[in-house]
Copies of this chain bind each other. A is one copy, B any other.
């Protein structure tokens, strides 16, 4: 058996370039990795109650051993924490800790903690140093890379935030062992997404090797590193999402609408599950528009189902949304121009593209069929 090796993916963004370290044991070696790269000695750690209970003591100890001092703030777990209310708490904690130039703010947790903390770091003193220690699969392969930060409001998801790149990302692949299977699967939806966007070979490898990725070890490190590399490539080409970066939204227009409809209630739906259903819908809608063969959609459904992810609207527990409600959420999330929507559609596995002229009326009809309304 091969020894498990640490990988480094570099995100090349000029003077905002940074490294993503991926591998086992990074919580234990965090102090060494951070102190080698940071001028300051002060850190403010933001975490949530689940992750904090499991990893905060070991993380703090590792920092202390490298001569770093850290304060910490533990917030409730869950999507509702991405709010103005908690943003204010984080900002207050960071100011109270007197984090200054050279020091850093650290997000220790999943995408919720990463998005919220990154936003706070982006606005304290108009931009403070920021380190991501993503602990969920979703945050390791997606949200911790690329500098998008934000919170939700009653108007929709991630409508308020800034672009603020981290200075370092430490993705410890061991900590994924304590994720619930449901959260692991949700993150896996984003891994599969990179294959579906433009890497058909990676998707085929996942169809074959997903059990190893779930089990841990080399295949997991490989899947995380390949995903980070895929995201880094897109981000480097289009940091502020003016063009090609929109491809990363495959499955997300439908997904976000479903999240809004279920009011970010994670008992009903978590982000990656919304993306899973959204990717299936994007492939089915593409087939309906005669852009792709129905076989592609069938293959996507087969793989996501096998993994245990939801693939239809009916898989969401509770009352079904109405078409109107979903279309409202879609209109707020994306811009509608003269009855046309921007969507990520596909010509087949790994052949996604940006379509900016999708008739809203076609989407309505498609959803009516799906919902039997």
Residues of A at the B interface (CB closer than 8 Å) are: 84, 88, 91-92, 95-96, 98, 100-101, 119, 122-127, 148, 150, 153, 155-156, 159-163, 240, 332, 335
Q: When the two chains form their complex, are residues B160 and A91 in contact, meaning their CB atoms are under 8 A apart?
A: yes
- The answer for the CA separation of A332 and B94 in the assembled complex, in Å, is 13
Q: Is the interface of A mostly helix, strand, loop or mixed?
A: mixed
A95 lies within 8 A of B153 (CB): yes
Query: 30 interchain pairs (CB within 8 A)?
Result: A84-B88, A91-B153, A91-B160, A92-B153, A95-B153, A95-B155, A95-B156, A95-B159, A95-B160, A98-B332, A100-B335, A101-B335, A119-B123, A122-B162, A123-B123, A123-B160, A123-B161, A123-B162, A124-B159, A124-B160, A125-B159, A125-B160, A126-B148, A126-B150, A126-B161, A126-B162, A126-B163, A126-B240, A127-B240, A162-B162
Cβ of A275 to closest chain B Cβ, rounded Å: 20
Identify the closest chain B residue to A150 (Cβ).
B126
Task: Give the Cβ gap from A111 to chain B, nearest Cβ, in Å.
Answer: 16
Identical copies of this chain, number = 2
CA A160 – CA B123 in complex, angstroms? 5
> In the complex, what distance in Å separates the CA atom of A163 from the CA atom of B96?
22
Nearest B residue (CB) for A241:
B126
For the A-B complex with A95-B156, A126-B162 known, give 10 more contacts whose Cβ atoms are closer than 8 Å.
A95-B153, A100-B335, A122-B162, A123-B123, A126-B148, A126-B163, A126-B240, A127-B163, A127-B240, A162-B162
What is the bound-complex CA distance between A150 and B150, given in angstroms? 17
Q: How far is the CB of A214 from chain B (nearest CB, A)?
A: 34
Cβ-closest 10 pairs across A and B: A95-B155, A100-B335, A123-B160, A126-B161, A84-B88, A126-B163, A126-B162, A91-B160, A162-B162, A123-B162
Cβ contacts under 8 Å, A155 to chain B? 92, 95-96
Q: Residue on B with the closest CB to A122?
A: B162
Question: How many angstroms from the CA of A148 to the CA of B161 in the assembled complex?
Answer: 16
Which residues from chain B contact A91 at a C-beta distance below 8 Å? Answer: 153, 160
Which chain B positions have C-beta within 8 A of A148?
126
A245 → chain B closest CB, angstroms: 12
The distance from the CB of A167 to the nearest CB of chain B, in whole angstroms, is 16
Chain B contacts for A101, CB-based, 8 A? 335
Instruction: Specify the chain B residue showing the minimal Cβ separation from A160.
Output: B123
Report the separation of the CA atoms of residues A127 and B123 in the bound assembly, to the nearest whole angstrom: 13
Q: What are the residues of chain B within 8 A of A335 when measuring CB–CB?
A: 100-101
Q: Which residues of the partner chain B approach A98 to less than 8 Å between Cβ atoms?
A: 332
Q: How far is the CA of A240 from the CA of B101 in the complex (A)?
A: 14
From residue A166, how far is it (CB to closest CB) to chain B in Å? 16
- Least CB distance from A124 to B in Å reads 6
Query: Considering only CB atoms, which chain B residue lies closest to A153 in the complex?
Result: B95
A101 to B334, CA, bound (A): 10
Q: Which residue of B lies closest to A335 (CB)?
A: B100
**From residue A84, how far is it (CB to closest CB) to chain B in Å?**
5
A153 CB contacts on chain B under 8 angstroms = 91-92, 95
Closest Cβ–Cβ distance, residue A101 to chain B (whole Å): 6
Chain B residues with Cβ under 8 A from A240's Cβ? 126-127
Most B CB contacts (10 A, CB to CB) among A100, A126, A127, A162 go to A126
Kindly provide the distance from the CB of A152 to the nearest chain B CB, expressed in whole angstroms. 11
